[in-house]
Structure 1
Amino acid sequence: MDFLENVVSKERTLNPEERVGEALRQAGVSITITSITDVFAFAIGATTRVPVLRSFCIYTTAGIFIVYVLTLIFMVPILSLDERRRDSGREGCLCLRLPADYKKNRCSQKLLLEVIFRRIFGPLLVKTPVKVVVVLLTMGLLGLNCWGLSGLKNDFDRTWFFNPGYQRDFVSAVQDLFPESGYRADFYLGNTDYFREKEALEELFNRLSALPGIKNGSIEFWHHSFLEYLKEKKGKPIRIMNVSTKAMQLTLTRRPPPMWICKQADILLNSVPPVGAMNHPGKISPGLQYMCANG
């Protein structure tokens, strides 16, 4: 609006559309650069793996972009119509035509900020001592910010996402009483055929075990425990592909091993053998040495 007022005061011969276009020529670049910068900043923030922050950045990015588009397709035409209203001598509320002898209020024509900058700040800032003070103050603030940035710590606590209550108290108590246990994480599998994907499931276990953030021996996965049980019963190493589907079904249903008792919640059968197949969600529970971002 300030740019438009400046154009109106200087270019009185231009029609309303030309005045708005001239104002956008002066202010449009800064508006566009600011909007694009904000969109990119929040779009980069949307790549985080923290769900709450990711959702906030996505909505903010979309909101800034929509506001910019609405400014172009809605606000600019409205400004053109408003300039037409002013040229036709109508007031700004109900667009009623003003009387021929109408005079604007003298108080409304005084621009306080313009007077302050023109009579006080402008003459003051051009003086050499003031320039020196401004430069020194700027350099001092820059140094202070750099010093504060050097002491910035990257910290994360999962209790920040809990509302005050028993869940937050429980997690805090576990961290205080059992700090050596690290963090607990559960990975849930989708509809997977356990028999056909034996090798893939064992590969998943091996890859999780090799991650630097996983405590040694902390992964609880019924499939790996079951294979270890078969090795123990057979007395020698076995190959995963040699474990038949029928033998696996019979062992888990008719002759369940001891590990079945504590793993029942992690294994779901949709029918009994020999027709059935285990293809319901399963669970893997590793212990994390430290909290890291997980997909």
Structure 2
Amino acid sequence: MQLTFSPVAGVGVDDMFIMIASWEQSSRKAEKSDTKSRLAETYREAALSVTITTLTDVLAFFIGTWTAFPSVRSFCLYTGTAFVFCYVYVITFFGAVIALNHKRVKGNRHWITCMQVEVGKKSCLYNACCIGSCSSESPEPETSETESEHPMSVFFQKYYGPFLTGRWIKLLVVLLYGAYLGGSIYGCTQMREGIDLRNLASDDSYVIPYYDDDDRYFSEYGPRVMVVITGSVQYWNESVRNDIEACTRDLENVAYVDKNLSLSWLRVYTGIA
């Protein structure tokens, strides 16, 4: 549950930020002054980005359902499905919340109780917490509304952009990217095929000590190979048992098999019986 919540919450919050940023951008267009037009403009700008990011995430997790591990398959299935519902909620419910919150701010209503709040006689902190705007004046009519630019947009436009285009900064960025690329190539050369089965179990699982002991005492023997007869066998027939025993001896005579480590339940059963 926790593993599923983290990626879904991250993508959901990212989609919310995209929607809010598009909503703020829509306020700068004079022809998009009413709530309906602004919401339509918001979806026009944000829906494509939200859809593409969600689609790629859903495809990635649904492809993961093809794995042979049941735990990983269940995780990918539930997470991919959660992404679908998250996308539906963002493009439906969250858009409605934005429109309702806009009407609340225009009406000078409290952000929890939605009761009318008196504006102009309180501090900026009071107005920001109760109304959502630090302005001490009542909002103008909806047709003439102008909203200030977001502080993050101002930061990237006026400070980060000019800083990044400096001569030495550009050289530093190229060097850092070269170091990152070199480290990535080196890491790819150090990758080894296989999977550590300990990573598929919880930290307090009994499986982890088992794999530790198996690696410590039996790693030199390699994996155990089992031979199974899937058809119906007449074990009470002595000739059938002799044929199975002959087949077992043939397998033990293979150069890659240590006959001293072979185990046959039929031998044990007939020895006891």
Q: TM-score, normalised by structure 1?
A: 0.57
Question: Who is 1:81 aligned against?
Answer: 100
The residue aligned with 2:79 is 60
Determine the structure 1 residue equivalent to 2:209.
169
Query: Hey, what's the Cα distance between the residues in 2 that align with 1:95 and 1:231?
Result: 84
Select the structure that is richer in helix: 2
Q: Among 63, 81, 97, which residue is 1:44 paired with?
A: 63
* Contact residue 11 and residue 19 of structure 1 kept, 8 A: no
Counterpart position of 1:205: none
CA distance in 1, matches of 2:269, 2:124: 84
Query: Which residue is 2:239 aligned to?
Result: 230
Decide whether aligned partners of structure 1 residues 162 and 172 sit closer, same or farther in structure 2, where only a CA change above 3 A counts. Answer: farther
Following superposition, the deviation at residue 74 of structure 1 comes to 0.9
Aligned length: 209
Deviates more, 1:86-95 or 1:14-23: 86-95
- TM-score when normalising by structure 2: 0.61
| Partner Cα separation in structure 2 for residue 59 and residue 65 of structure 1 | 10
**CA displacement 1:227-264 (0-9 Å, x = unmatched):** 99425779xxxxxxxxxxxxxxxxxxxxxxx948628x
SS in 1 for 2:192: coil
- Deviation of 1:56 after TM superposition, in Å, equals 1.1
Please state how far the C-alpha of 1:97 moved relative to its aligned partner.
2.6
Measured at CA, do residues 91 and 143 of structure 1 come closer, stay the same or move farther in structure 2, by a change above 3 Å? same
* 8 Å contact from structure 1 (residues 225, 259) kept in 2: no
Shift of 1:18: 1.1
From 213, 216, 219, the equivalent of 2:227 is: 219
Q: Point out the more displaced range, 80-89 or 17-26.
A: 80-89
User: Take 1:174 and 1:118, find their aligned partners in 2: how far apart are those partners?
Assistant: 59
Which stretch of the first structure deviates more once superposed, 25-34 or 155-164? 155-164
CA contact (8 A) 2:47 2:91 kept: no
Of 74, 78, 90, which aligns to 1:71?
A: 90
**Gapped regions of structure 2 (runs ≥ 5):** 1-19, 129-133, 136-147, 244-264
1:196-219 superposed Cα distances (whole Å, 9 cap, x missing partner): xxxxxxxxxxxxxxxxxxx4xx42
Q: What value does the CA root-mean-square deviation take over the aligned residues? A: 3.7
Greater RCO, 1 or 2 (C-alpha within 8 Å, sep 6+): 1
After superposition, the Cα gap between the structure-2 partners of 1:261 and 1:142, relative to the gap in structure 1 and judged at 3 Å, is closer
Q: Which residue of 2 aligns with 1:6?
A: 25
Contiguous gaps of at least 5 residues in structure 1: 185-214, 235-257, 264-295
Q: Which residue of 1 aligns with 2:269?
A: 262
